[in-house]
C-alpha cells in the first residue's frame, strides 16, 4: 500500500515536473522567426512608439534651437501646472479608493452568495466598462446635471426656486469616475475570488481559523495581485480621463484638460511640457504594474483545484435585503442609459424646465439616418475603427510570433514597448503623433500624416493594439505548447503549423480581443478631439458638437446608436469567448 502511494506521488511529481519543463522550453529551433516579421515589428515600434515619444520629450527640452529646461521651469512656475498635476493625481487616488470600496464589496456579494437574479445583476455590474466615456458623460449630465432629470425632480418635489445642486467640480468628477471605473475592481476581484481554491479556506477552517482570520490571512493575500492590478488600471484610466473634466470639471484643472487648452491657445511649449509630465506619471504607474504581474502569475499557479462554491443566502429576510440591494443597484447602473434613451426621443428645444422631456419624437433618429452628413460620421467611425482593429489583429500575430522566439530580455523589451501606447493617456498619444508627424521629419521625409484621413486610424491602432496583443498572447499561452511540437514532428513547416494549428486555436480569443478594441475605438473622443480632420469626423466629435449646440436629443440619439453597436459587438465577442473551451486541449 505504502509503495503504491509513493508511486502515485512520484507520478504526479513527474507530471508537475514535465509541465514546468514544457513551459520553459517555449523557444525551440523550429520556431525561428523569418526576418520580415521582426522587421515589421521594429518599424512599427520605431515609428509608432519610440520616435513620437522621444520627439515630444526632446521638443519639450528645446528652446529656440538649444537644449534647455526652460519650458519646465516656465511651466512649473505657473501655479496652474502644478495645480493640474496635483489635481490629476489626487483625483485618481480618490477614484481608486472609491472604486475599490464599491467594486470589491460587489464582487464579494456576487461571487460568494447566490440570491434571485444574481446572474443578471452580476452581468449588469460590468456594464459601465463598455460605455464610451463621452457617452457616459453626457448621459450623466442628462441625469444628474443641474438641469438634469434628478435635479428637476427634486426641485419639483420640494418646490424649490432653483436647482438643488450644480454638477460641477470634485464631487461630480468623483461620482462619475466611481460609476465608470469601479468595474475594474469588480471584474478583477471577482476573477481572483473564482480562482481561489475553496480547499484553502476549508483547510484554514480545519486548522481552527475564524472566518475573519480566513478572510485576512488566506483570502485577501491571494487577492492582492488582483487588487493591485485593478488599482493601477483605475488610476491610469482616471489620469487619462478627459470628457468628464471637460464637461463638468468646473474649476478642477487636470492635466489632460490643460494639455487640450494649451493646444487650443496655440501654446505648443506648454502642451508639450504638460504632455511629458502626464506621460511620466502614467509610465511610472505602468512600471509599477508590470512589477506586480509576476506575483499574479505565481498566485495563479498555486491555485488549482475546486472552485469556491457560492453560498445560497438562506434566511428569508437576508434574501429580501440582498435582492432589494441588487434591484436598487441595477437601477442605479441602468439609470444613465435609460435617461440617454429617453432624451434621445425628446423633441429638440422642448425639454427646458420640466423633470422629463414633455414631447417625444423619432425625428432625432430619422435625421441621423436620412441626412448623409449625419450618417457619414458613423461610416467614418466604423471605417477608421475597423481599419485600426484589423491592423491590430494582424500586428498581434506578428508580435506573438516574434516574442515567442526571442530571449527573455528582448521579450520584456518588446512587451513593454507594445504596452506603452496603452498606458499613455489618449491625449499624450495624440499629441505625440501630431507633433512627430505634423511636419517634415527624418523618418517620413516630406510625407505629413496630420491632416490626412490616416491620422485617426493610426492613433486608434496605436492606442488599442495592446488590447489585441494581450488577447492573442493570452490565447497562445492557453494553447498547449505540445500541439505545435506535435505538428512539427508530423512534418508541418512553419506556415502549416501557423495556419492549421495556431490560427484556428487562437482565432476566437483574437477576434474577441479585436472586437473589444474596435468598440473602444468606435466611441473614442479623447485623442480624436485633438487630431481629427474636419472632413473626416468620428461620431464622438459630432456628439460633442451637438451638445455644444444644445441639440441634446440628437446627441443622445448618436449615443444610443453607439451603445447598440457596441452591445452587438460585445455579444459576438462573448459568444466567441465562451466557445473557446475547445482550445484547452487534451
What residues make contact with another protein under the rule CB under 8 A?
A: 10-11, 13-15, 17-18, 21, 24-25, 28-30, 480, 482-483, 485-493, 496, 500-501, 504-505, 582-586
CB of 476 to another protein, least distance (A): 14
- 29 vs 445, which CB is nearer to another protein? 29
- 25 vs 550, which CB is nearer to another protein? 25
CB of 14 to another protein, least distance (A): 4
- 30 vs 114, which CB is nearer to another protein? 30
Q: Please compute, for residue 460, the number of CA atoms within 13 A of its CA located in the half-sphere on the CB side.
A: 34
From CA 103, how far away is CA 96, in angstroms rounded? 10
From CA 251, how far away is CA 574, in angstroms rounded? 41
CB of 290 to another protein, least distance (A): 22
- Helix crossing, 220-240 with 268-302: angle to 10°? 160
CB of 293 to another protein, least distance (A): 21
From CA 100, how far away is CA 12, in angstroms rounded? 39
Residue corresponding to grid cell 449615443: 559
- 28 vs 78, which CB is nearer to another protein? 28
CB of 503 to another protein, least distance (A): 10
- 172 vs 505, which CB is nearer to another protein? 505
List CB contacts of 187: < 8 A, sequence separation 6 or more: 103, 107, 126, 129, 230
- 336 vs 509, which CB is nearer to another protein? 509
- 427 vs 488, which CB is nearer to another protein? 488
- 11 vs 293, which CB is nearer to another protein? 11
The 10 Å CB-count burial string (b at 16+, else e) for 55-69 is: bbbebbbeeeeeeee
For the record, the C-alpha cell of 357 comes out as 422631456
CB 584 within 8 A of CB 478: yes
Residues in the chain: 586
CA trace torsion 567, 573, 578, 581 (10° rounding): -170
Count CB neighbours of 152 within 10 A.
Answer: 20
Alpha helices for 149-207 (secondary structure H): 149-157, 169-195, 198-206
CB of 16 to another protein, least distance (A): 8
For the record, the C-alpha cell of 209 comes out as 481559523
List CB contacts of 378: < 8 A, sequence separation 6 or more: 368, 539, 561
- 13 vs 210, which CB is nearer to another protein? 13
The three-class DSSP label of residue 167 is coil
- 175 vs 474, which CB is nearer to another protein? 474
Q: Report the DSSP beta bridge partners of residue 582.
A: none
Q: HEC string of 526-583?
A: CCHHHHCECCECCHHHHHHHHHHCCCHHHHHHHHHHHHHHHHHHHHHHHHHHHHHHHH
CB of 493 to another protein, least distance (A): 5
- 487 vs 557, which CB is nearer to another protein? 487
- 90 vs 486, which CB is nearer to another protein? 486
For the record, the C-alpha cell of 195 comes out as 480562482
CB of 287 to another protein, least distance (A): 26
Count CB neighbours of 146 within 10 A.
Answer: 17
**Per-residue DSSP letter, 304:** -
CB of 491 to another protein, least distance (A): 4
How far from 61 is each of 14, 58, 69, 83, 426, CA to CA, in Å? 58, 5, 6, 21, 22
Count CB neighbours of 328 within 10 A.
Answer: 10
CB of 515 to another protein, least distance (A): 20
Nearest to 569 by CA among 537, 527, 521: 521
CB of 11 to another protein, least distance (A): 6
For the record, the C-alpha cell of 517 comes out as 478594441
- 499 vs 568, which CB is nearer to another protein? 499
Q: Which helix (H) or strand (E) holds 33?
A: none
CB of 263 to another protein, least distance (A): 50
CB of 482 to another protein, least distance (A): 4
DSSP labels for 67-95? E-SHHHHHHHHSHHHHHHHHHHHHHHHHH
CB 435 within 8 A of CB 60: no
CB of 9 to another protein, least distance (A): 11
- 567 vs 584, which CB is nearer to another protein? 584
Amino acid at each position: 500500500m505504502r509503495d503504491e502511494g509513493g508511486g502515485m506521488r512520484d507520478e504526479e511529481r513527474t507530471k508537475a515536473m514535465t509541465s514546468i519543463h514544457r513551459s520553459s522550453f517555449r523557444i525551440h529551433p523550429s520556431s525561428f522567426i523569418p526576418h520580415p516579421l521582426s522587421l515589421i515589428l521594429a518599424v512599427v515600434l520605431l515609428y509608432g512608439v519610440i520616435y513620437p515619444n522621444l520627439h515630444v520629450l526632446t521638443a519639450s527640452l528645446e528652446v529656440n534651437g538649444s537644449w534647455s529646461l526652460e519650458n519646465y521651469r516656465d511651466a512649473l512656475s505657473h501655479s496652474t501646472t502644478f495645480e493640474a498635476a496635483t489635481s490629476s493625481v489626487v483625483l485618481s487616488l480618490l477614484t481608486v479608493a472609491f472604486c475599490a470600496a464599491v467594486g470589491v464589496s460587489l464582487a464579494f456579494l456576487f461571487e460568494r452568495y447566490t440570491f434571485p437574479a444574481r446572474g443578471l445583476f452580476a452581468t449588469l455590474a460590468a456594464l459601465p466598462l463598455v460605455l464610451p466615456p463621452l457617452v457616459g458623460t453626457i448621459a450623466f449630465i442628462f441625469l444628474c446635471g443641474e438641469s438634469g432629470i434628478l435635479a428637476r425632480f427634486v426641485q419639483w418635489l420640494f418646490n424649490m426656486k432653483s436647482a438643488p445642486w450644480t454638477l460641477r467640480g470634485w464631487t461630480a468628477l468623483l461620482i462619475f469616475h466611481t460609476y465608470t471605473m469601479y468595474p475594474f475592481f469588480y471584474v478583477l476581484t471577482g476573477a481572483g475570488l473564482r480562482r481561489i481554491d475553496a480547499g484553502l479556506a476549508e483547510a484554514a477552517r480545519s486548522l481552527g481559523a475564524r472566518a475573519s482570520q480566513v478572510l485576512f490571512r488566506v483570502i485577501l493575500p491571494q487577492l492582492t495581485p488582483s487588487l493591485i492590478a485593478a488599482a493601477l488600471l483605475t488610476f491610469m484610466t482616471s489620469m487619462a480621463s478627459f470628457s468628464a473634466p471637460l464637461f463638468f470639471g468646473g474649476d478642477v484643472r487636470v492635466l489632460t484638460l490643460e494639455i487640450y487648452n494649451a493646444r487650443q491657445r496655440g501654446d505648443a511649449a506648454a502642451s508639450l511640457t504638460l504632455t511629458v509630465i502626464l506621460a511620466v506619471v502614467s509610465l511610472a504607474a505602468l512600471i509599477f504594474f508590470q512589477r506586480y504581474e509576476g506575483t499574479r502569475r505565481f498566485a495563479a499557479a498555486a491555485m488549482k483545484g475546486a472552485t469556491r462554491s457560492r453560498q445560497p443566502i438562506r434566511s428569508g429576510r437576508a434574501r429580501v435585503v440582498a435582492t432589494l440591494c441588487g434591484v436598487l443597484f441595477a437601477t442605479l447602473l441602468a439609470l444613465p442609459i435609460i435617461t440617454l434613451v429617453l432624451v434621445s426621443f425628446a423633441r429638440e428645444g422642448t425639454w427646458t424646465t420640466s423633470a422629463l422631456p414633455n414631447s417625444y419624437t423619432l425625428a432625432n433618429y430619422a435625421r441621423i439616418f436620412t441626412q448623409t452628413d449625419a450618417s457619414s460620421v458613423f461610416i467614418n467611425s466604423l471605417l477608421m475603427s475597423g481599419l485600426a482593429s484589423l491592423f491590430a489583429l494582424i500586428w498581434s500575430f506578428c508580435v506573438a510570433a516574434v516574442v515567442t522566439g526571442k530571449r527573455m530580455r528582448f521579450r520584456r523589451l518588446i512587451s513593454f514597448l507594445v504596452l506603452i501606447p496603452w498606458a499613455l493617456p489618449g491625449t499624450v498619444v495624440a499629441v505625440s503623433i501630431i507633433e512627430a508627424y505634423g511636419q517634415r521629419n527624418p523618418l517620413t521625409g516630406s510625407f505629413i500624416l496630420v491632416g490626412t484621413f490616416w491620422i485617426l486610424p493610426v492613433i486608434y491602432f496605436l492606442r488599442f493594439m495592446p488590447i489585441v496583443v494581450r488577447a492573442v498572447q493570452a490565447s497562445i499561452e492557453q494553447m498547449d505548447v505540445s500541439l505545435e511540437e506535435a505538428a512539427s514532428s508530423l512534418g508541418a513547416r512553419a506556415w502549416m503549423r501557423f495556419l492549421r494549428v495556431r490560427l484556428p486555436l487562437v482565432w476566437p480569443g483574437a477576434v474577441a480581443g479585436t472586437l473589444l478594441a474596435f468598440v473602444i475605438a468606435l466611441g473614442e473622443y479623447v485623442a480624436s478631439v485633438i487630431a481629427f480632420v474636419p472632413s473626416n469626423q468620428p461620431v464622438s466629435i459630432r456628439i460633442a458638437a451637438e451638445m455644444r449646440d444644445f441639440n441634446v436629443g440628437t446627441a443622445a440619439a448618436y449615443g444610443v446608436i453607439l451603445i447598440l453597436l457596441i452591445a452587438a459587438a460585445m455579444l459576438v465577442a462573448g459568444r466567441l469567448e465562451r466557445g473557446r473551451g475547445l482550445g484547452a486541449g487534451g
